[in-house]
Chains A and B, each alone.
Chain A
Amino acid sequence: MTTKAPNLYFDNAATTWPKPESVCRAVEANLRQSFGNPGRSGLSRSLESDRVVYQTRQKVADFFHIEDPSRLVFAFNATDALNMAIKGLLNRGDHVIFTAMEHNSVLRPLGSLRRDGFITTTAVPCDKEGRPDLDYLEKAFTPRTKLVICSHASNVTGTILPVDTICLLAHQKGAFLLVDAAQSAGVLPIDLSLLEADLLAFTGHKGLLGPPGTGGLYVREGIDLKPWREGGTGSFSEEDLQPQVMPEKMEAGTLNTTGLAGLQAGIEFIQETGIDEIRRHELKMRRLLKSKLLALPGLTVYGPADDAQCVGVLSFTVEGVDCGELGRLLEDPYGIITRTGLHCAPLAHKAIGTFPQGTVRLSPGYFTREEDVERVALALEEILRVKV
């Protein structure tokens, strides 16, 4: 992707943009050429769609070092995958532990199950840098604790959470670990042959550089989830109950074949570029942003002091200035796209002391350039000269 125009899109933590050209081409080619329904009939056109699904599953499995691709279930985004995991695993009376950095895609499914008296939960507090209190976590286990849920990286502060340590703790206590990799997949290496997470949810439209409407859930061998969506699978059609064979058990309904073709191309782009190179670039952009921001008066930056402990997400506030207004001014007249407010993570904002007003979030991506960061810094300087 080479473009002369400034790329002032700083909301890559929500959806990465631009996408690699190869992703756009893969989506278009799929829409134009592949018109069969996947998993239905075995006729050659349908099989073409099946092959896209099969190849993407293999590609994602290899990318995350998943030995058996049939344990990888496609979902429509991380929210879908998290719901699949939470609602598919928990039974009445179960206890769940989660960190304060979790997104509403975890908090709300848990919230409704708790409201209905189905489960009990414990939120593990996090410090101002977004790090969970591991002593608190260790003491939070009860004999009924079935599941621990932890983000791999925070969408508010960018903090990378110690999923390895939390995984060990959970397993010592006989609980499962669900990792929310929405912010990390594609920018931090994830090796599921080393990280022994039981479930891992990811989306395709962020770091994996694919289109919206793609994502998935890894389910470790031996874990049996109840499907939260039931219907046509193209198999066992004579039976009136959902088939119990993975991955189709969890994938009722026509999959987003076109999106998956794009996701496959997105992962290929990452593999060709090198995930370390992507990580290096995002960190460089974050460091540059942070150093520019810290030079401005009245501005507070959140998250770990050590940038190496973050993904490319940076939250800030300006004393006495509403973050919504800041976001609006950055967009008009400067054309800088940010995300303001609570970022669907109210507990994370409580942890870092920015609830309920929220923050302005800047999230550079692999296609952000130094001159784009310079423009953000200049724009903020101008805004603050008037405001502060």
Chain B
Amino acid sequence: MAVNCYFTFPTVYFALRAEAVLKDSGCSFKMVPVPRAISSSCGTALRCPCEEIDAIKEVLENNKVQWDNVHLLQEEEPRPRSRGLLARKEARA
């Protein structure tokens, strides 16, 4: 189990603006669908390691990007076994 951080946004426009302004910031993040455990007005969220929260908030604030909330979520790491199964299937195809 690992804790991940999710930024949610009021609109797709602001989610994309967040991605654009963070691209060259050196922050580590990924745009992902909003997990069902979180309530958000926009379906796209920004996922990042918790230690990046402050740096990301600063970049967003400096660029007038609105966000709704920052959620912390305990998540299971993806199991390597399932990837292996998929890889074997692809190899057969």
A-side interface residues toward B, CB under 8 Å?
Answer: 38-43, 47, 50-51, 53-54, 57-58, 69-70, 233-237, 243, 245-248
Q: How far is the CA of A50 from the CA of B42 in the complex (A)?
A: 13
Which residue of chain A has the shortest Cβ distance to B45 in the bound complex? Answer: A42
Contact of B43 among A58, A235, A245 (CB under 8 A): A235
Q: How far is the CA of A42 from the CA of B34 in the complex (A)?
A: 7
Q: How far is the CA of A263 from the CA of B26 in the complex (A)?
A: 31
Which residue of chain A has the shortest Cβ distance to B42 in the bound complex? Answer: A235
B50 at the interface (CB under 8 A from A): no
Which residue of chain A has the shortest Cβ distance to B10 in the bound complex? Answer: A245
| A140 → B minimal CB distance (Å) | 38
Q: Is the CB of A50 within 8 A of B16?
A: yes
Contacts A243-B11, A243-B41 hold; do A42 and B31 have CB atoms under 8 A apart?
A: yes
Nearest 7 CB-CB pairings of A with B: A42-B44, A54-B16, A42-B33, A235-B42, A39-B12, A236-B41, A245-B11
Which chain B residues lie closer than 8 Å to A38 at the CB level? 12
27 A-B residue pairings within 8 Å (CB atoms): A38-B12, A39-B43, A41-B33, A41-B43, A41-B44, A42-B15, A42-B31, A42-B44, A43-B33, A47-B16, A50-B16, A51-B16, A53-B16, A54-B16, A58-B20, A69-B13, A70-B11, A233-B11, A234-B43, A234-B44, A235-B10, A235-B11, A235-B12, A235-B42, A236-B42, A245-B11, A247-B11
Q: Is the CB of A47 within 8 A of B41?
A: no
Q: How far is the CA of A57 from the CA of B17 in the complex (A)?
A: 11
Which chain A residues lie closer than 8 Å to B55 at the CB level? none
Q: Is the CB of B34 within 8 A of A248?
A: no
From A234, A235, A246, name the one whose CB has the most chain B CB atoms within 10 angstroms: A235
Which chain B residues lie closer than 8 Å to A69 at the CB level? 13, 17
Q: How far is the CA of A235 from the CA of B44 in the complex (A)?
A: 9
Q: How far is the CA of A42 from the CA of B32 in the complex (A)?
A: 5
From B16, B19, B20, B32, name the one whose CB has the most chain A CB atoms within 10 angstroms: B16
Q: Is the CB of A248 within 8 A of B16?
A: no
Q: How far is the CA of A69 from the CA of B31 in the complex (A)?
A: 21
Q: How far is the CA of A312 from the CA of B17 in the complex (A)?
A: 37
B-side interface residues toward A, CB under 8 Å?
Answer: 10-17, 19-20, 31-34, 41-45
Which chain A residues lie closer than 8 Å to B15 at the CB level? 42, 50
Q: How far is the CA of A43 from the CA of B42 in the complex (A)?
A: 13
Which chain A residues lie closer than 8 Å to B33 at the CB level? 41-43
Q: How far is the CA of A247 from the CA of B16 in the complex (A)?
A: 13
Q: Is the CB of B12 within 8 A of A50?
A: yes
Q: Is the CB of B44 within 8 A of A70?
A: no
Which chain B residues lie closer than 8 Å to A47 at the CB level? 16, 19, 31, 44
| B78 → A minimal CB distance (Å) | 16
Which chain B residues lie closer than 8 Å to A41 at the CB level? 33, 43-44
Q: How far is the CA of A20 from the CA of B73 in the complex (A)?
A: 49
Contacts A54-B17, A54-B20 hold; do A248 and B43 have CB atoms under 8 A apart?
A: no
Q: Is the CB of B13 within 8 A of A247?
A: yes
| B46 → A minimal CB distance (Å) | 9
Q: How far is the CA of A223 from the CA of B31 in the complex (A)?
A: 31
Which chain A residues lie closer than 8 Å to B43 at the CB level? 39-42, 234-235, 237
| A34 → B minimal CB distance (Å) | 14
Contact of B13 among A40, A43, A70 (CB under 8 A): A70
| B89 → A minimal CB distance (Å) | 20
| B24 → A minimal CB distance (Å) | 15
Which chain A residues lie closer than 8 Å to B41 at the CB level? 235-236, 243, 245
Q: How far is the CA of A235 from the CA of B11 in the complex (A)?
A: 6
From A58, A69, A236, A247, name the one whose CB has the most chain B CB atoms within 10 angstroms: A236
Q: How far is the CA of A38 from the CA of B16 in the complex (A)?
A: 11
Q: How far is the CA of A40 from the CA of B33 in the complex (A)?
A: 9
Q: How far is the CA of A247 from the CA of B66 in the complex (A)?
A: 13
Q: How far is the CA of A247 from the CA of B10 in the complex (A)?
A: 11
